[in-house]
Structure 1
Amino acid sequence: MTVLVVDDPKAHRSTQQVTAPLLSESLRARPTATRWAATMLDRDAALTRMRSRHVEASDHIKIPRQGSQWVLDWLDEHPGATWQERWSATGVEAAGRPWRQIPLAWLRNLGRESQWNDEQFLRSLHIVFGADLIRPSLSWLCIAAFGSGSLARTMAAMRDPAGFAELRAKCTADPNVSQTALTRNLYRAAALVSAMGGTISDITPGDVVEVLDAEASTRGTTIGSTGLFYRLLHEMGSFGPDAPATLRHLRVAGQKTPEQMIDQYQLSSDHIRGLLIAYLKERQASLDYSSLTSITYHLAGLFWADLERHHPGIDSLDLPAGVAAAWKRRLRTITRSVTDSDGRKRDAEVERVSYRECLTPVRALYLDLAQWAVEDPARWAHWVAPCPIGREEIDRRKAKRHLKSRMDARTRERLPVLPVLVESVNRRRKEAAELFESATRTAPGATFTAAGQNLMRVAPSRAAAVKIWAVEPDTGQRRDLGREEEHAFWAFAAVETLRATGIRVEELTELSHHSLIQYRLPTTGEIVPLLQIAPSKTDTERLLVVSPELADVLSLIIRRVQNPKTGAIPLVEAYDDHERVWRPAAPLLFQRRVVGEHRAMSAGLIRKLLTAALEHSGLVNPVTGEPLHFTPHDFRRLFITEAVLSGLPPHIAQIIAGHRDINVTMGYKAVYPTEAIDAHLAFLARRRSLRPSEEYRTPTEEEWKEFLGHFEKRKVAAGTCGRAFGTPCIHEHACIRCPMLWPDPAQHGRLLEIRDNLLARIAEAEREGWIGEIEGLQVSLAGAEDKLAQAQRRRTGQPTVSLGLPSAKKI
């Protein structure tokens, strides 16, 4: 297995592994051999092996006899008891990229200088590798890569005809694998067979990591199709049943031990290092991994590593007053990249917003040690020292007020432009889909017009044979229309789902087909679709009613990800970035196909898609003039603010948002008039004081019927009322004004009559001078036009599609 050795004089410090999980013995990279039977053959036996190994190879490759003798002559002039030792003595691998000069200079000294002789000699090296006389290193093979197709053909003919034929067949059968990817992966397999010996079936997951790391180190980056190479070998059965399903399982970081977490910061003091490790182990049982990582960062990174940089040799928690004060001053600021008015970027010291949050773990360390010293003095008493952080220094009341003020300003800034963003992502999705479909029907080299754009489809390169490329005739810019369509769709899906539910981004990525459940009213048989939100931050499960608009979005997502033949949604494993573990495979809704592999979308990808969507929308900050930025959590704040402003009681909003404390919910809601907040709090206090204790019991049959009756009474003339149970109608049944009305497309004609009637009444009021009537009628007109637009969108939208709701399990 490839490891990255940390330059540390202390023997007890652990090394940081590139591949996160510890593989079993059968899955690790095979050790590099120095002696094996073929490399110890004499010259005559080596020539015989080269010429006779796999007689059928002559049907696929032509063995240059003279070149083979020259290679052995050249190797014979170097010291060594085996062909491998003589190869190492030539200095070819140490020469790097200009390695050809060494053997070709030998040919020139013998008077055999010609292009034909050079080609014969270099081609014969492949024959030597195929006969297993020499096993070159993977790093040299990645640098050399000479005649990559020739090496693959030689290894296929001389070493493993069946294995290479199966690998080629799998690549050819997959329409998503380009010719370049096929050649690339055949060469990787040939390189591993050349360097490690054996056949393709002997390759292990560790070997794959070795060759990919060699590519990355020699080229600066991998050359693509890495996950495809691992997947192909896994499907061929080379790795065995215990191998991880994908290469990503080997690449992503797993959970670290407290020792590994502390050693990331390379502390000089073994005394303090031992303390911090013991402290983490003591708290590990009561914390999740994300919290443990955060504590490690604050204690080892921001606290002690900073002290060692500025006070070398420090070795005690008993800090002098000057040292503690200097550390706090440094902690108050952080270096950020800022942009000047002329557009130039520079580093500047800005105030650290989370200053007090950084002090809290350090104070907790000192206080925990003092408490534990009372309970177990033999173990902890010698660590106790005066705490350099006072209680008043971590008082966050003022900081919370500042945070509340900033978040409210951010919400008030984004709430008015939310409809613009929604319209922008929807329009971009439709335009991208129209461009992609038109380009698919257009032959390469021909021009086409779609979504108001004139483009010319270009013939794809070998590396992008499965992509749809187009070029703008005026600018010459090449565009990957498939990528544009995919990003536009998922940006639309993320925006619509986040704004309709107010869920966290982690909960968004965990939505699956199993999250859609249904409840059938026993009296009317009406199905109420619900969205089950899996426990995340607060470990609290909750159910949300699916609105018609959200149902449309979910149906689009399901149709996109489901198998077109079977209708099933692929099962994918998702990586939890916080806990550093892989979640069990599930039919996740937010998934996409990458090089033939279904992958769950990460929270980071969702954020990138939102950023790109904002750039296309053209929305700017009204104060700074810079592009407006949305985060997934902004939609959560917007959802709660809009819900409470629309009349939803805060305690209902608390349940929908999944907060344990109503004060957290009210903290999310942006402050508009302070009186509204005070009125809500007074109403809740009065209602709770008057509520009889009998209400905290199992509901009676009559009370349950009353609850079900609420759903039966949702139907109104213009559509369906979506207000929560137990809440009054805030518009006194003026449904046309109410945001909780879900208009029925079948009532489109009725809505037109209402709008026309309101227009006539406004004209009459203006004519008669009824000024008091006009304002109220205009509010009703705005509501009617909004409901009319919603009904129109649902009439002309996608056809009705079954969400495929899983059936309820009987308990």
Structure 2
Amino acid sequence: MTTAASAPVDRIIDNDLPTAETTPRPLSVNIQALRRRFTPRPAEDAWPATTQPREQVLQRLLSQPFQVDSHTNGHQRLQSRSLTLILDWLETLPGQTWQQRWLASGCDGLGAAWQSRIAQWLDGGGERYPLAGKHSVLPPGMALLIGGDVLRPTMAWFLSQRLGRSLMPVLERARDPEGFALLRKMCATDPGISEANGRMALGRIGVMVAAKGGLVRDVTVGDCVELLDTQAAVQKLTGAGMVCFYRLLHTMGVFPTDAPPSIRMFRSAGQLTCDELVDRYRITCRPIRNLLVEYLRERQPAMDYSSLNHLAFLLAGRFWADLERHHPGIDSLHLPVEVADAWKQRQRFKTITLTENGTRRMVTAPRRNVGDLLTAVRGFYLDLAQWAVEDPARWAPWAVPCPIRAIELVVHSKEKRHRKSRMDTRTRERLPVLPVLVRHVDEHRKKATVLLQAVAAARPGDSVTVADQTLQRAVMIRSPSGKIFADDPTASTRRDLSQEEHEAFWTWAAVEVLRHTGIRIEELTELTHHSFVQYKLPTTGELVPLLQVVPSKTDAERLLLISPELADVLSAIITRIRLATGAVPLVAAYDKHEKIWNPPMPLLFQSRFGTENRPVTGATIRRLLKKALTATGLTDPDGQPLVFTPHDFRRMFITDAIMQGLPPHIAQVICGHRDINVTMGYKAVYPHEAIQAHRAFLDRRRATRPSEEYRTPTAQEWDAFLAHFEKRKVSLGTCGRAFGTPCIHEHACVRCSMLWPDPAQKPRLTEIRDNLIARIAEAEREGWLGEVEGLRISLAAAENKLAQLHPDPAQRSPIELGIPTVTTDH
């Protein structure tokens, strides 16, 4: 079995996760309901402008406001010929209106190839006027027909080609001049909308006006959603500039008051129903599938969505879907012993794919959360048994013996102890180096700010030297986007100084707030301008600033004291995000755990993203922390780059607070824990705590013993102590007996285990050994058997002392361990 090594890898994929988790899933019921609530305007094939006869269409489109005096005669003749040519072609097609004839031609589905279809008709003899360059002649006439609301191609047709240069002037001049003028004014006065994004937003609004008819104020929320879906399908674009048009229309007051503040709400996953949560895993047995759905519905009122989703994953994915995958046709919760044991064994390990330097390999690693899975499955069986007593008609058929015994949960409880040990070790590794990280992010923020200000003050092309680095402000060919770029001559790269300063500031802000408050990452991202409250001390009347943490994991709010250092950080954040009017922008944030959109709030952790303000997400903070730690060069005991997670700051905050004397029950209130044992579980135990406790024990024990034992020794006693060590030198080496103890061998040093032989006395030891051998031979020859036994004991002791001086070379030679073989389980 190959286990996951500690070597750095590029990517890790868990192959044992249910495959349904990675397949695209439909929109949730809530998102579908929201889309049904805001439906797009239906496509029509008949309206007054498209039913007009040919002569009336030509007369209307070839006069003002479709034609302006600034157009040259040649341009007007081109428009007239193009318009006449397209109308001639449309007249050859079936239909009662011009729109019906356009749809019958099939050009709407051709996209940019619609001109080729008309060119084929022209080549077939249908051309009334001898025109060269047929493709260049057609767009002006098509722009007049669309701008005059004679034709309404679909949004996909508009997005598959470039017709804006000829169409937008017609729409703005003849269709809705007041509406488009107001939009242009809004784009010009909004500092967050660049020239390119504003032009793109106007083009998207023009597409909806041209495809659906009416004015700008007639555009609906459903039209915007349809455009966004079509845009993602045709152009594969979903960037920030692509959704700017919705914000403009929302600010303009086109939409109703209950319209979502962001169009991204229509594309989020949303909360899934219990049926959808179970159906992700494609369970074959319908009775079991229905049972799991009903069980989740019973548990749903007492659980948040994140916990419900995880429970569905454990029961439907890790439990029953795994059983169906290995035992096709299984249809009963009453599992045979061999089936249950095989499932437990499979869940103890997982097969993962490691991608390292472009090479993929399969390894097997133990699971760390087996206890959570067994607890969920056992709770499922026990709940069914309990509910069967309360409602037999509904639950009694499913009350069967549980395959998970209580003793198995006790065995797996050691996982929690191992987890506690790992977390304590992690905290002990990171708490001492926290000042290094804090100092680095602060210095990096200051350097990035100074560098940005210096380059921004320079003219394009000028060189600036700041902190021993020379940069040249980049000369931008395109329209300015508001960002400051600089070229680095030494690295031959272009740096986005605005982005560097942005990342440096929010890295510093996140580190400071996390380490001073110990709040969770989701609580950090939900801090708002309304989180600041004041408390008046009843004794002195002093106003104390407090930070209100909204309910998150435990659904209980709490108040934290704002220290002066934290106040400086929060003040810098508010100064950065505040508008020129002094207000903090309202931002709608998506809760990825609950899968819901929160109402617009003045979030503290927000930044400009494209054309709108968006919250700084937890994923962004994790990425910034990782980048900052890489720059510090800190490593863990294995030599790998040190990694900080936002939750590490919470553990370090609790550990440091309790070590500084904060009572644990006060730390529990500050951190928002329901159980004090959870708080103590966060606190890491340091070795010096045990040392201090042992010293305190020694002090208490000494206090109960006679004081004479701890008096200062006299001069005679001290001389006797020193003389003892002077008398430890003997002829064969050094005596190692303790102070004040007699010689137990009556100075027979060869036999004494306390003798440390001196290598320089080897000849003397050899002479003693040879003499003992000769004396033993003489005693045996003379029959002095009483001395033979004693001499042999002395001889063995002498040989032992010689062996201590020169151990057996075989014992000092290296041992060949061999090369281990590694097998891979696929």
Q: TM-score range by the shorter chain?
A: 0.7 to 0.9
Distance 1:101 1:19 in 2: 44
Q: Residue 162 of structure 1 aligns to which amino acid in structure 2?
A: E
Q: How big is the shift at 1:577? A: 2.5
Q: How big is the shift at 1:441? A: 1.0
Distance 2:392 2:571 in 1: 62
Partner of 1:576: 591
The secondary structure found in structure 1 opposite 2:465 is: strand
Say if 2:34 is the partner of 1:23. yes
The secondary structure found in structure 2 opposite 1:23 is: helix
Cα distance change of structure 1 residues 247 and 665 upon mapping to structure 2, 3 Å threshold:
same
Q: Select between 606-615 and 576-585 the one with higher mean Cα deviation.
A: 576-585
CA contact (8 A) 1:408 1:671 kept: yes
The within-5 A match list for 1:3-82 is: 16=27, 20=31, 22-23=33-34, 27-51=38-62, 54=65, 62=76, 64-82=79-97
Partner of 1:101: 116
Q: How big is the shift at 1:109? A: 4.3
Cα distance change of structure 1 residues 106 and 235 upon mapping to structure 2, 3 Å threshold:
same
Distance 1:135 1:335 in 2: 55
CA contact (8 A) 1:19 1:251 kept: no
Q: How big is the shift at 1:353? A: 1.9
Distance 1:647 1:600 in 2: 36
Distance 2:159 2:340 in 1: 52
CA contact (8 A) 2:462 2:473 kept: yes
Partner of 1:176: 192
Distance 1:535 1:502 in 2: 15
Partner of 1:633: 647
Say if 2:527 is the partner of 1:516. no
Q: How big is the shift at 1:211? A: 1.1
Tell me the alpha carbon deviations over residues 406-442 of structure 1, each in whole angstroms, 9 at most, x when there is no partner.
1122112212221111111111111111121112211
Gaps of 5+ in 2: 1-24, 698-826
Tell me the alpha carbon deviations over residues 429-468 of structure 1, each in whole angstroms, 9 at most, x when there is no partner.
1111112111221122222122432222223454652222
Partner of 2:678: 664
Say if 2:458 is the partner of 1:442. yes
Distance 2:36 2:65 in 1: 31
Q: Residue 380 of structure 1 aligns to which amino acid in structure 2?
A: W
CA contact (8 A) 1:178 1:462 kept: no
Q: Residue 386 of structure 1 aligns to which amino acid in structure 2?
A: P
Counterpart of 1:88 (choices 80, 85, 103) is: 103
Distance 2:133 2:278 in 1: 60
The secondary structure found in structure 2 opposite 1:435 is: helix
CA contact (8 A) 2:111 2:156 kept: no
Counterpart of 1:186 (choices 197, 202, 218) is: 202
Cα distance change of structure 1 residues 67 and 614 upon mapping to structure 2, 3 Å threshold:
same
Q: Residue 119 of structure 1 aligns to which amino acid in structure 2?
A: S
Tell me the alpha carbon deviations over residues 5-48 of structure 1, each in whole angstroms, 9 at most, x when there is no partner.
xxxxxxxxx95359826338773212222443444444444434
CA contact (8 A) 1:357 1:394 kept: no
* Cα RMSD for the two superposed structures: 3.1
Q: How big is the shift at 1:71? A: 1.2
Distance 2:354 2:37 in 1: 51
Q: Select between 305-314 and 654-663 the one with higher mean Cα deviation.
A: 305-314
Distance 1:180 1:277 in 2: 50
CA contact (8 A) 1:455 1:471 kept: yes
Partner of 1:533: 549
Distance 2:652 2:562 in 1: 18
Q: How big is the shift at 1:634? A: 0.5
Counterpart of 2:623 (choices 596, 600, 608) is: 608
Say if 2:280 is the partner of 1:264. yes
Tell me the alpha carbon deviations over residues 589-624 of structure 1, each in whole angstroms, 9 at most, x when there is no partner.
22223345333332222222222222332323330x
The within-5 A match list for 1:307-326 is: 307-326=323-342
Say if 2:592 is the partner of 1:563. no
The secondary structure found in structure 1 opposite 2:548 is: strand
CA contact (8 A) 1:132 1:197 kept: yes
Say if 2:135 is the partner of 1:121. no
Partner of 2:491: 475
Distance 1:445 1:315 in 2: 74
Distance 2:115 2:607 in 1: 44
Distance 1:19 1:466 in 2: 38
Say if 2:440 is the partner of 1:458. no
Cα distance change of structure 1 residues 470 and 100 upon mapping to structure 2, 3 Å threshold:
farther
CA contact (8 A) 1:19 1:253 kept: no
Structure label with greater radius of gyration: 2
Distance 1:326 1:462 in 2: 64
Q: Residue 636 of structure 1 aligns to which amino acid in structure 2?
A: R
CA contact (8 A) 1:50 1:131 kept: yes
Distance 2:358 2:635 in 1: 17
Q: Select between 79-88 and 105-114 the one with higher mean Cα deviation.
A: 105-114
Q: How big is the shift at 1:64? A: 0.5
Gaps of 5+ in 1: 1-13, 684-811
Cα distance change of structure 1 residues 510 and 676 upon mapping to structure 2, 3 Å threshold:
farther
Partner of 2:378: 363
Q: Select between 242-251 and 179-188 the one with higher mean Cα deviation.
A: 242-251
The secondary structure found in structure 2 opposite 1:640 is: helix
CA contact (8 A) 1:529 1:546 kept: yes
CA contact (8 A) 1:460 1:468 kept: no
Q: How big is the shift at 1:139? A: 1.6
Q: How big is the shift at 1:494? A: 0.7
Q: Give the TM-score of the pair, scaled to structure 2.
A: 0.74
The secondary structure found in structure 2 opposite 1:285 is: helix
Partner of 1:204: 220
Q: What percent of counterpart residues are identical?
A: 50
CA contact (8 A) 1:18 1:251 kept: no
CA contact (8 A) 1:177 1:466 kept: no
Partner of 2:687: 673
The within-5 A match list for 1:293-442 is: 293-340=309-356, 344=359, 346=361, 348-395=363-410, 396-442=412-458
**1 or 2 for the larger relative contact order (CA 8 Å, sep ≥6)?**
2
Q: How big is the shift at 1:54? A: 4.7
Q: How big is the shift at 1:521? A: 4.7
Partner of 1:767: none
Distance 1:594 1:324 in 2: 51
Distance 2:28 2:170 in 1: 34
Q: How big is the shift at 1:635? A: 0.6
Distance 1:427 1:113 in 2: 73
CA contact (8 A) 2:607 2:616 kept: yes
Distance 1:306 1:96 in 2: 47
Q: How big is the shift at 1:284? A: 1.5
Tell me the alpha carbon deviations over residues 228-253 of structure 1, each in whole angstroms, 9 at most, x when there is no partner.
21110111221122211222333333
Cα distance change of structure 1 residues 193 and 519 upon mapping to structure 2, 3 Å threshold:
closer
Distance 1:677 1:105 in 2: 93
Counterpart of 2:511 (choices 487, 495, 509) is: 495
Distance 1:327 1:45 in 2: 78
Distance 2:59 2:421 in 1: 84
Q: Give the TM-score of the pair, scaled to structure 1.
A: 0.75
Distance 1:463 1:77 in 2: 46
Q: Select between 514-523 and 169-178 the one with higher mean Cα deviation.
A: 514-523
Say if 2:289 is the partner of 1:273. yes
Q: How big is the shift at 1:53? A: 7.8
Tell me the alpha carbon deviations over residues 721-770 of structure 1, each in whole angstroms, 9 at most, x when there is no partner.
xxxxxxxxxxxxxxxxxxxxxxxxxxxxxxxxxxxxxxxxxxxxxxxxxx
Partner of 2:669: 655
The secondary structure found in structure 2 opposite 1:471 is: strand
Cα distance change of structure 1 residues 605 and 675 upon mapping to structure 2, 3 Å threshold:
closer
Q: Select between 651-660 and 211-220 the one with higher mean Cα deviation.
A: 651-660
Partner of 2:784: none
CA contact (8 A) 1:290 1:578 kept: yes
Tell me the alpha carbon deviations over residues 366-411 of structure 1, each in whole angstroms, 9 at most, x when there is no partner.
2211111111111111223332333233334210111112112211
Partner of 2:733: none
Q: Residue 629 of structure 2 aligns to which amino acid in structure 1?
A: L
CA contact (8 A) 2:532 2:548 kept: yes
The secondary structure found in structure 2 opposite 1:558 is: helix
